[in-house]
Structures are given as C-alpha cells and as structure tokens.
A and B are shown apart, each in its own frame.
Chain A
Amino acid sequence: MAENGNGSVKEGFEMPEIKYTKLFINGEFVDAASGKEFETRDPRTGDVIANIAEADKVDVDLAVKAAREAFDHGPWPRMSGYERGRILHKYADLIEQHIEELAALDGIDAGKLFAFGKAVDIPGAIRMLRYYASAADKIHGETLKLNGAYQGYTLKEPIGVVGVIIPWNFPSMMFFLKVSPALAAGCTVVVKPAEQTPLSALFYAKLAKEAGIPDGALNVVNGFGPTAGAALTSHMDVDNISFTGSPEIGSVIMQSAATSNLKTVSLELGGKSPMIIFDDANLDMAVGLASAAVFFNKGEICVAGSRVYVQEGIYDEFVKKVIEVAKGWVVGDPFDPKVNMGPQVDKVQYERVLKYIEYGKRDGATLLTGGKPCGEKGYYIEPTIFADVKEDMKIAQDEIFGPVMSLIKFKTIEEAIERANCTKYGLAAGILTNDINIANRVSRSVRAGTVWINCYFVFDADAPFGGFKMSGFGRDQGMNAIEKYLQVKSVITPIYNSPWL
C-alpha cells in the first residue's frame, strides 16, 4: 500500500489541457447533432475531467456517410500502399512527439500508470502503427493453379467501411490495434471509444488529420454502447465491425450484424486465463510472473492470468512468496512513479470487483491477502489472493477484471490441462516449466489463442492475438489482422496456348 496518499495528485505534475472534446467527423471536430454531452471522470477522485460530445444514431450515420464517401470516392483506398504507409509513419512520428501528453490523458481518464504509459503503452501503440504502416505495401494476392487452361489470381481488396468499438482498459493500444491494420489495408474507419476513456482517441483523430489522413478516412464518435455502438454495429453501410470488450456485448454485436447486413465481425472478448506452474519451474520467476499476470493494470486486462495453477510440490513455498509479493505491490496515484497499481477505472467496476471478493469468501475460498478497498477516495482496491479455489466457484468462472488471483493446487499434467480448459474462455495461458516435453504438450493442449511459456504479457505487433471459445474470434496483431479488413476476390480468365499449366 502506498503511504503517500492514494488519490492525491502529485505536486509538480502538470495535468494535460483537455483540447478535444467533440466528435471527429469528416476531418472536423463537431458537436453532437443533439447537442448532448456526457462526463468523463478521473478515477483517482471520481471528479469530472471534461464534458464530451455524446454521439447517437444521427451522428453515427453522419460518420458512416463520411467514411463511405471517403472509401467509395476518396483518395485513401486509391493511394499506393507505400503512400498510405508513408502517411501512417508520419502519423506515428507525430504521436511520438506527444507521448507524455497522451500518457497523461490515459492516466487521468483510465487511472493507468503514467510512467508505464510513457514507457510502454504509447510506444507500444506507435510500434503497432509502424508495423502496419510498413505492412501496407506487403498485402499480396496470389496467382492460382487452376484445373484447366485458365489464368487465375486473387486480389486482396480493402473491405470498405470498418466500425471499431474499443474498451477503456488500454485506450491507446486498442485504438491502434484496430485502426492501424484497417487503415493500412485501405479501409476507412469509424471508431467508438469507450465512454469511460474518450480523450486520447480524439487527440489521435487530430494527429491523423495533421499527418495527412484524408477527411472521412478516420472518424471518432464518442458515446454509449446502446445508442452509438448499436447504431454502428447495425448500420447497413458498415462492412466490418471489430470489437474488443465483454462476451455479453460481443454476442449483441454479432446479432446486430446478423440482423442488419451480415457484416463481417471480429470479437476479442473476455478471458479467465490459466497460469500453470509446474514443480520444475524457477520459483521466484513463477511468483513474479503470476502476480504481474493478474495485478498488472489493476487486473483490468482481458488476458489477466487470473487462475493460477500450482503443482503440489512447490505449492506451499509458492503461497508464502506470492503473499509477500502481493503485499509489496504499491497501490496509489498512477502519476507517482513508485506506484505499481492505480485505481479501478470507475465506480461500477470498483463495486463489481468488491462484489466478487465477497463471492469468493461466500463460496469457501481462503482469502490469503488483500480483499479490501484502500484509500479514502477514488476506486483503489488491494491486491487480493484467494487459495483453495474450485473450478465451480464464481471467482474461478467469471472474469473479475480486477486485482484478484485465484490459486489452485494440482497434481499431474493431465489434471492441469483438464482443469485449465474447464472454462468457457480461451484467450491466453501461461506455462512455467523448463521441461521441453511438458511445454510442448501443454502448448498444444490448452485451448487458448496465446500461450506464453516462461513469460507473460509478451504482446508484439507481429504476434497474432485473439481467442478460442467465448473469448471471441478473429485475430488482432500480426499480418493476420490485416486479413480481417480485406476481401478476397478470385479473378479467372481463359488462357490460350500456354506452354505450362
């Protein structure tokens, strides 16, 4: 626990000026058609940071119209991949010039660690953008081997207008996870950021214009899911929807796509990812990774390693050490560089996490450490560890999205695999072992989209990311992500007198 006042603003730090609060449509900042606004709050204090223009269906229609026009008649898909890439690189350069300001915006809006934002989040978003900037000229169709005297080939065409709905836990990274490959592919985009974290997306919209992204190619409409979000997902002129968020909303989005124009959908949803620690693992590394896997970003991360399976031979020792580590995590103001963990994003999440802690106690899990709110104001919660957790308990089944670790003891590899897979989710898994056979076996057996062996949270622009089962479908990152934003067209024509077929 941080001694130096949870929730207090650090002296000497200059809060960023809030410059952009309107909707960004067709290259201009505009008020919502209704004139409505909503408040975005600082989770350290619960105070209002700014009033933000609130889009609803009318505004989404305008944004889609602009994106449609930019796609159907505008320069963006008609440029060479190299030209698009040059503009996206310029965009990355501009973001690089504002790293501190952007990290601060995400800090006050989402309660994210400022130092981490500066060092990891924003540079990671830049890296993502650069990756796709230089992928824009590497989208290849193929010539085909047809069963007859035909010349055939595939064209990979941009899919059209892409709707993007992103969550509040990594506002910058999520924005570029979706927007970069879509723009690189030549699509135009309408983004609805989370209503909790509308600020950095508007800044990115402004920088996009400055970099030379044509008007209408990137639009940002802040607002709420049931109004703005629903209008986007059910829109007849949107060709693809890419969503990151909860499975419940993912299901709504998919239905909305189905009942409108059958737009293609990709969903990156929740997780209840297992971290499986075998007897032969390096114990200190295991303790460090397991605690980071669930406490990092206050547990507000879809890939949180929230079920920690520890083999019986090292279980007791592990428990002792992990409690120590959890107690050492400093909770406090995210702008304080000594702090490891800031506040939960808002009151709803804060109360939800505390409710799950109560479920854990009620269902008979043993609370080893934490379990309480901390600080006098704001939404801070102690790093919390439960032991003796069973798969049928609520805390082992549901995504808590908070700093709550569930510890589970296991005996054999078979048992670990079976229990790790005993979830409706399949986003990620961690394996800690030095045994090559265990590592290979478990990697193939765990039904999850990412497996980290002796590491965790190693995200990379080049490593595809997404879920099995109810963690969603489709992949972000890597060259796979670009495929979501491309149509494949086969072109076939007879060929005469070919010397080979």
Chain B
Amino acid sequence: MMGQRLVSSLLSRCLYASHRILNPLTRQERKLGLARRISQRFSTLTAIEDPVTPPVEVKYTKLLINGQFVDAASGKTFPTLDPRTGEVIAHVAEGDSVDIDCAVKVARKAFDEGPWPKMTAYERSRILFKFADLIDEHNDELAALESWDNGKPFEQSAKEEVPLLSRTIRYYAGWADKIHGLIVPGDGAHHVQVLREPIGVAGQIIPWNFPLVMFAWKVGPALACGNTVVLKPAEQTPLTALYAAALLHEAGLPDGVLNVVSGFGPTAGSALAGHMEVDKIAFTGSTGAGKIIQELAAKSNLKSVTLELGGKSPFIVMDDANVDQAVELAHSALFHNQGQCCCAGSRTFVHERVYDEFVEKAKARALKRVVGDPFKQGVEQGPQIDEEQFSKILEYITSGIDSGATLVAGGGRAGNKGFYIQPTVFSDVKDEMTIAQEEIFGPVQTILKFKNLNEVIQRANASPYGLAAGVFTNNLNNANTLMRALRVGTVWINCYNLLDAAIPFGGYKMSGIGREKGMDSLNSYLQVKAVITPLENHAWL
C-alpha cells in the first residue's frame, strides 16, 4: 500500500522531485503566512491585474485513439486549471488503464499491420513536414493554449516554443530517409548487414513545463523512425498535445499511429509503463517517478527506457567574466519559464573575486524582472503551474531562510491570487543546504562562492544529478577543463538553454538515461538487427 501511494504521489507530480510527504493543509497554512510575512519585506514587482482573456478556444478535450476523439471508457473527466487564477479552463477526458489498453491495441495494430512503418521513409517525412507547416499556420492558437494551460509568457510560447516544435519536427522529418545501418566486416567470409528497424509501439509520458517542446522531442523521432505512439501528456497541461495531434492527423498521419491519452500517472501512466505490448517507454519528469517507470518496465516486459529527469545544474562564473553579462545569463538560466526547467542553472557558483559585485547585480536584475499575466506584453514571468508547486517553492524559500542563507530579493508570493511567486535570490548559500541540493523548480536563485577551479569542479559534481552546466569565462583552458570535468549531459559555455533540435540532451547520474534530440534520439526508437550470411568465393573481405 505504501508503495502504491508513493507511485501515485510521484507519478502524479511528474517533474516534482519531492522527498517529503507533507500534510497539504498544514503546508497551505504555513505558506500563506510566510508569503504575507515576506511580501512586506520585498514589494511585489507588478500588480497582478485581472487576467487577460486568452485569444483561443478549447477545441479538443477528449482522448485521441485511433484517429478519433473519444470519451474515457469510464466517462470520467478532470479539470485543467488556469494557473493565473486556479479556475477551470476545461474538463478533459480522464484515461485510465482501460483506455491505455485500447490505445496500445490500436497502436500495436497500426504498427504490425501498417501502413505507417511500411510506407517509404520519404512518404513519412512528407507527412511530418506537412505537420510542421500546419504548426506554423496555427502558431498563435497553439501558443495561446500553451500559455493558458501552463502560465508561461505568451511571447515565449509564440516566438520560441511553438517555432521550436515545428523546427524539431522538421529536423526529424529530415532524418526519416537518412537512417543508416552499417555493413560491418566479418572476421571470416561473411556478409554482415546491420538493419535499424523501428522498435514498435512507443509509450511516451511528457511533463507540464514545456508541453509542446516535449511533444516534439518525443513524437518527432518516434514517428520518423516508423514507430507508433501512445502519448500521455501531463494532467496539468493536456490541451496542446491534443491540438497538435489533431494537426498531425490533418497532415495525413494514419489512424492509430499517434494516440493521446490524458490522465494521471498512477492510473494511465503506470498502465502505459507496465504494458506488455509497449516496446519502449520514454519519460520526462522527476527522478522519483523515473525510478518507478524503470521498475514498471523491469517488472513487465523489459521494454527499453529513456528517462530525462531532474537536475541541479551548476552555472559557474569565473573571475575573468564580464559580470554584467554573467549576471544576465545566470538570471535567465534560472528564471526562464518561472524556474520550471529541468536544466535550470539552479546553483550559481561565483568566483570570490567577483562575488559581491555579482550578488548586487543579480539582486537588481531579479527586482527588475516583470512578473504578471503571461498574456500581457513585456511580462517575463507568469504564475507557477499549480498550487502544489507554488506551495512547495515557498517551502523551499522558508528552508533557505531557516538554514541561514541570505535572502537578497523576492521571497514570497506575488499578487494575491493565482500562483505567482516573486523572483527570489539567495546569497551565502552553502552546499549542504537543502536549497542547494534539491530541485526547487521555481524562481529561486541560489548563489554560492568559490575560490578556484578544482574546488568548483568538485563541488559542481557533488550532486546526484548531472543534467547540464553553464560555464562563464573567456579563458580557453578553463573552458576546456570544465567542459571535460563536469559530469553532465550538456555544457553551455558563455550561453545557456540552447536547445537546438540537433543537439543531444540528457543526463548523467540520476538525471536520466539516454539522450533526446539530435541523431542520438533516433537510437532510442530503433532496434538494431545484425544479419549474417556466408560468402562463397568472395572477391574481397
């Protein structure tokens, strides 16, 4: 029973890596009290006004199975909420294991009988390219829906994320007809071919922080390789995946190739991860939930698993850095998307020689950050995704204060409704503090001081995570040393959050298994088959 509750708690929270189980009521009370206390110390940046009406209507709320929008077998629905207000946007069909079974069955049929994997790769690519064009045509609708459901600034959705969706789809569309196996030399007179075949039915579980971008990272390579998919979006953000999937069908995707089952982790998610007919499961979310997914795969059919999990990524500012630029980059590395990024630069290590100046400027920058309705122009930061995350972040802020870190900016709720949090900065943070160890997933920057290169390498690596790192220096040798020494999947040198379609992304250590994007992601969706046959009277070997 305890195990089951843990499964439930972790899966339902997706990206949230909680190590504590708290009484929600108590937490709520504590949070509100704390918020009031802190708000008095640091003024709110922008008044949170009446919410702007999003310029989009919700068209799709059902499950998408076999090319049809259908109700859940149980008839159940769940509300998806507007993070600006906590009010209901729409009631969405809630898939559970029955619906997952149904979706897997049609995906299986679509894979085993075709036409999708039996088409030429060029034909598949043409459909995916058409999909990308449709995404561009519906850019603003998708962006509005994304921001409404998620709370992220509309401009960010419209100018960065939806274009990144179509860009990533085009990238993989282009790979479809370039998937090559090797002809390898045998030791004797044998002809050896290596076929790279689609793996089959892929189960994909995506988080709420970048719903459309995550859709692209998962669905793009899976479909380009000729697989069929059952996708479970996060229950916090089910809307855009349904919309995008509808466009994909409009582009000519055959029925059953992509099925979207909204629902919760413990029911729909675990049914998918534990399904005997699913050949591959790809998950992005919390480390805790990732462990459960891998366990479910192990206990069922040993399906292959890709996990892209949490992080506590260091952002290292060396003493030769231009402090103004470093502050700006470190600021966006952490605060982008309300701090809700798995690769957020959440440990800002600053060399002691520039530390004081850095802290002052980081504080000034945080105080300038424009928080408000994501549909208002110029807003940099919207609300956190939901009340649970909101409360958890405020908990962490309290923990920071209690453990002796210096609160230099923010520290509380912004406004008095919805889930807005002030951009918060802590200085004098020590490695052993909870805020320096755990993934906060919110707008809380923690600044740590270091003396030399070896020290910062050791401290940066002293984390169970290994997703990404930022390095800020113009010294070539330091950059090269750090690049190799950091045990992380991505190192950004004098930049951050560059997530091009062609760049592989994923984690060392407990940040996950496998890579997404780039060529590497194709490997996750392909089986490798070696074919060997003897050669008679060969002309050469």
Query: Which chain A residues have a beta carbon within 8 Å of chain B's beta carbons?
Result: 82, 85-86, 89, 127, 130-131, 133-135, 137-138, 140, 151, 413, 417, 436-437, 440-441, 444-445, 461-462, 479, 493-500
B453 and chain A: residue at smallest CB distance: A497
In the complex, the chain B residue whose C-beta lies closest to that of A443 is: B191
Q: Closest residue of chain B to A447, judged by CB? A: B539
A137 close to B502 (CB less than 8 A): yes
Q: Which of B173, B454, B476, B485 contacts A134 (CB 8 A)?
A: B173
CB distance from A130 to the nearest CB of B (A): 8
| Contact segment of B38-46, B174-182, B228-236, B280-288 | B174-182
B501 touches A137 (CB 8 A): yes
When A134-B173, A138-B178, A138-B502 are in contact, do A444 and B539 touch as well, CB less than 8 Å? yes
Contact A440 B191 (CB under 8 A): yes
Contact for A436 among B129, B174, B533, B538, CB less than 8 A: B533
Interface bin, chain B: 20 to 34
Question: How many A-B contacts are there with CB distance less than 8 Å?
Answer: 87
In-complex Cβ contact of A496 among B129, B480, B540 (8 A): B480
Min Cβ gap A212→B in Å is: 16
> In the complex, which residues of chain A have a beta carbon less than 8 angstroms from the beta carbon of B480?
151, 493, 495-496, 498
Can you offer 20 A-B residue contacts whose CB atoms are under 8 A? Answer: A85-B174, A89-B129, A134-B170, A137-B171, A137-B501, A138-B174, A138-B175, A151-B480, A437-B536, A440-B535, A440-B536, A444-B540, A445-B538, A462-B177, A479-B180, A494-B477, A495-B480, A496-B481, A498-B480, A500-B484
A495-B484 in contact (CB<8A):
yes
Residue of B nearest to A134 (CB): B174
CA A440 to CA B191, docked complex, whole Å: 8
Q: Is B26 an interface residue (CB 8 A)?
A: no
Shortest C-beta distance, A48 to chain B (Å), equals 39
Q: Which residues 95-142 in B have Cβ within 8 Å of A in the complex?
A: 122, 125, 129
Are the CB atoms of B174 and A135 closer together than 8 Å?
A: yes
B173 touches A444 (CB 8 A): no
CA–CA, A409 to B332, complex, Å?
76
Residues of A within 8 A of B170 (CB): 82, 85-86, 134
Question: Contact flags (1/0) for B511-541 with A, using CB distance below 8 Å?
Answer: 0000000010000000000000111111110
> Of B122, B167, B174, B484, which one neighbours A133 at CB under 8 angstroms?
B174
CB of B539 within 8 A of CB of A445, answer yes
Roughly how many angstroms separate A308 CA and B177 CA in the complex, as a whole number? 32
Given contacts A134-B174, A499-B484, whether A441 and B501 have CB atoms under 8 Å apart is no
Would you call B502 and A498 a contact (CB within 8 A)?
A: no
Closest chain-A Cβ to B462's Cβ sits at a distance in Å of 14
A131 & B538 in contact (Cβ 8 Å cutoff): no
Identify the closest chain B residue to A462 (Cβ): B177
Q: What 4 new A-B contacts, CB under 8 Å, besides A479-B180, A496-B480, A496-B481?
A: A138-B178, A445-B538, A462-B177, A499-B485
- Checking A444, A497, A498, A500 against B535 with a beta-carbon cut-off of 8 angstroms, the contacting residue is A444
Known: A137-B174, A137-B502. A493 touches B476 (CB 8 A): yes
**Whole-angstrom CA separation of A130 from B130 in the bound complex:** 13
Contact A461 B485 (CB under 8 A): no
Contact A441 B538 (CB under 8 A): yes
Please name all residues of chain B whose beta carbon is closer than 8 Å to the beta carbon of A444 when the two chains form the complex: 191, 535, 538-540
Q: Are B537 and A441 in contact (CB under 8 A)?
A: yes
Measured CB to CB, the residues of B under 8 A from A are 122, 125, 129, 167, 170-171, 173-175, 177-178, 180, 191, 453-454, 476-477, 480-481, 483-485, 501-502, 519, 533-540
Inter-chain contacts of A440 with B (CB < 8 A): 191, 533, 535-536
Q: How far is the CA of A135 from the CA of B453 in the complex (A)?
A: 40
Report the Cα distance A409→B175, complex, angstroms.
44
Tell me the smallest distance from the CB of B500 to a CB of chain A, in Å. Answer: 8
Q: Decide: A134 and B125 in contact? CB cutoff 8 A.
A: yes
- Taking CB atoms, residues of chain B closer than 8 Å to A500 are 484
Does B485 contact A498, Cβ atoms closer than 8 Å? yes
CA A461 to CA B170, docked complex, whole Å: 18
Q: Which residue of A lies closest to B478 (CB)?
A: A496
- CB neighbours (8 Å) of A462 from chain B are 177-178
Q: Which residues of B contact A499 (CB under 8 A)?
A: 484-485
Nearest CB of chain A from residue B60's CB, rounded to whole Å: 28
A494: B residues at CB distance < 8 A: 477
Please, how many angstroms separate the alpha-carbon atoms of A86 and B173 in the complex? 13
A272–B477 Cα gap in the complex (Å)? 58
Nearest first, the 7 A-B pairs at minimum CB distance are: A134-B174, A445-B539, A498-B484, A444-B539, A437-B536, A495-B480, A497-B481
* Nearest chain A residue, comparing its CB with the CB of B482: A497
CA distance A444 to B170 in the complex (A): 37
Residue of A nearest to B535 (CB): A440
The interface residues of chain B lying within 8 Å CB-to-CB of A498 are 480-481, 484-485
Contacts of A89 in B (CB 8 A): 129
Distance in angstroms between the alpha carbons of A127 and B31 in the assembled complex: 60
| In the complex, chain A residues whose CB is within 8 Å of the CB of B535 | 437, 440-441, 444
Q: In the assembled complex, how far is the CB of residue A281 from the closest CB belonging to chain B, in whole angstroms?
A: 18
Query: A130 to B120, alpha carbons, bound, how many Å?
Result: 15
CA distance A134 to B171 in the complex (A): 7
Q: Which residues of A contact B175 (CB under 8 A)?
A: 134, 138
Residue in A closest to B484 when the chains form the complex, CB atoms: A498
Q: Which residues of A contact B454 (CB under 8 A)?
A: 497
Q: How far is the CB of B36 from chain A (nearest CB, A)?
A: 48
Distance between Cα atoms of A138 and B502 in the complex (Å) = 8
**If A441-B535, A444-B535 touch, does A135 touch B481 (CB 8 Å cutoff)?**
no
Q: How far is the CA of A271 from the CA of B533 in the complex (A)?
A: 30
- Of the residues B178, B180, B540, contact of A135 by C-beta under 8 Å: B178
B483 contacts which chain A residues (CB < 8 A)? 151
Q: Are A131 and B536 in contact (CB under 8 A)?
A: no
